[in-house]
Amino acid sequence: MADEQLLKQVREKAQMWLREGYDAETQAQVRAMLDNADPTELIESFYKDLEFGTGGLRGIMGAGSNRMNIYTVGSATQGLANYMKEAFKDLEQIKVVVGHDVRNNSRLFAETVANIFSANGIKVYLFEGPRPTPEVSYAIRLLGCQSGVNITASHNPKEYNGYKAYWDDGAQVVSPHDVNIIDYVNRIADVSEIKFEGNPELIEIVGENIDSQYIEQIHTLSLSPDVDRKHHDLKIVYTPIHGVGRDIVPRSIMRWGFDNIIHIPEQDVMSGDFPTVPQPNPEMRSAMEMAIAKAEEVQADIALASDPDADRISVVFKNNKGEYDLVNGNQIQLIFHYYLITRNAELGKLDRDNDYIVKTIVTSETIARIAKAQGIKMYDCYTGFKWIASVIRELEGTSAHYLGGGEESYGFLPEDFARDKDSVSSIPLMCEIAAWAKDRGQTMNEMLIELYKTYGYSKERGISVVRPGKSGAEEIQAMMVNFRENPQQAIAGSPVVLIKDFQKLEQKDMLTGEVTTLDMPATSNVLQYFTEDGTKVSIRPSGTEPKIKFYIEVHDVNWDGTDYDAKNDWADAKIDTICHDLGI
């Protein structure tokens, strides 16, 4: 009966998309779903509205209320425009930046967004073609805009697209604007309320004028220009994985003085079909196979990649066995923070009273040990760069100085003039780190081992359990309820001593039973277990994808730096045991 009721509801909802106001192509797709004997696609396309969350939209492209199309994009934009006209009603001219990545339909969606904003009297700076997500963030600040939108689904599969909304500081929106925008978007009840007819006089095309300023400002981050020049011929393999980094990332690398960039021609093709990879996610080895093969072929010092919208990065260098291997996201964070703190100290620029770094709660605790040992303030925040940007915004105008911040999901931001993770700045910085290590007679792997020896060994593994569709969302919810109501008592034989529940903003000392409040800016559906031997397990449903994520971290703070391979084997075995204990 429940299934029959659901099917009746989705059919009625789909029929609404056959009215005037929807284009012929969309109507044809809806009719095809209605006529199909198998209702699966109809249900998945209409069983709910594609939710405008705190980060915007993300979903599979196609017709329907639960899909990315000009109508769901249009509703989001009209709601955002309505809210901006209220929030900035005292401004003579409200301004926004609109950008997009290389995905199929991204240009269509970006032009739709620009038209709707302009139809609402809002000045639009529309990028002439695909640009990095962090450049959109940078342009918002540079041009004094009140908001911005980037059409991108980051590293998701090719069927997806997305809509990221930014505020006047160049960061993704946080409270109170996030909930207010959602409210205004939800008020759009009918397609007739969306102003699709744009005003060309209010749309200005931008491109190279922003690119050049962005690249120049990124170059100011260099801490070792002499080393860069000395090792200008460092062998650097770079791939954009068919994305927007193709032109601007090599330009940025060369501006730092490196001139030996080795390309992978097949992956220099900008394409929303991502033809050489199963999924354009630089966290996945399958997306980096061609880069690894090229690194082996030319015996590169380092191989690097950016994802399709050039916010995340991937790093490859030789491991302890002399094999090129993918560096995990936590190790990327460790290397960046280690270099920024160590190099600034070498130069006499480290201000221990005011310098600070930021990491997310699921990122390696070894970063906290580095910061503590060096006397640097470290802030822990929620997953997502909007929270790192929020810390920067709160400290802006004080004596505090941002050194860098990042998260384990392969994103780092070494500057504060953009407010989203940034491969265009992170990649040349990583090249500089490779040159700096080489200048000290070290490989990148030897530098990483030195870091672990100095600050304690750690190893992390991220595991995603994917459960697509309506039933999958319900299963993920049930898993979180179970972990909360039936918490682990021990993990890999070590007693759980602390549980942090960020949905309740409570932490419980399992030894004393004491419950205290977590000081965070909002609640978040994250649960963490900490064990007596230093293991940390974080559990978090994704806010943008149909999966639940497990972040597992094991430690040996007293490791003496010998037999790195054996230590890695020990950690892998322990993480395998933890996975078994968690039932994943």
Q: DSSP readout, 186-199?
A: HT--SGGGS--S--
Average pLDDT over residues 559-564: 94
- Among the four given CATH numbers 3.30.750, 1.10.20, 3.30.310, 3.30.460, the one describing domain 457-582: 3.30.310
What is the dihedral sign for C-alpha 281, 285, 286, 292?
Answer: positive
Tokens at 542, concatenated: 């994704």
Domain 457-582 in the same topology as domain 327-421: no
DSSP string, 236-303: EEEE-TTSTHHHHHHHHHHHTT---EE--GGGGS--TT-TT-SS--TTSHHHHHHHHHHHHHHT-SEE
Helices 70-87 and 177-186, interaxial angle, to 10°?
Answer: 130
Q: Point out the catalytic residue in the list 65, 75, 118, 154.
A: 154
With vertex at residue 136, the alpha carbon angle to CA 133 and CA 139, rounded to the nearest 5 degrees, is 150
Any bridge partners for residue 357, and if so which?
378, 404
Q: Which two tokens stand for residue 485?
A: 């109501």
d(CA 215, CA 511): 52
b vs e for 440-468, b when ≥16 Cβ sit within 10 Å of the residue's Cβ? eeebbbebbbebbeebbbbbbbbeebebe
Indicate the average pLDDT of the chain: 95
CATH of the domain spanning 327-421, picked from 3.40.50.300, 3.40.50.2300, 3.40.50.620, 3.40.120.10: 3.40.120.10
* CATH placement of domain 48-212: 3.40.120.10
- According to the model, what pLDDT value does residue 471 have? 79
- Residue pair 166/145 in contact (Cβ under 8 Å)? The answer is no
Least confident stretch, 28-32, 34-38, 172-176, 244-248:
172-176
364 is catalytic: no
How would you class 148 by CB atoms within 10 Å of its CB: exposed for 0-12, middle for 13-18, buried for 19 or more?
A: buried
**CATH placement of domain 233-326:** 3.40.120.10
Determine the average pLDDT of the residues in 260-276. 98
Query: Domain residues of the chain, as ranges?
Result: 1-47, 48-212, 233-326, 327-421, 457-582
Residue 174, classed as helix, strand or coil, is coil
- Rg of the chain over all Cα atoms, to the nearest angstrom: 24
When pLDDT is cut at 50, 70 and 90, the band that residue 2 belongs to is: low
Residue 1 has pLDDT above 80, yes or no: no
Tens-place pLDDT, residues 356-388? 999 999 999 999 999 999 999 999 999 889 999
Range with the poorest average pLDDT among 46-55, 143-152, 189-198: 46-55
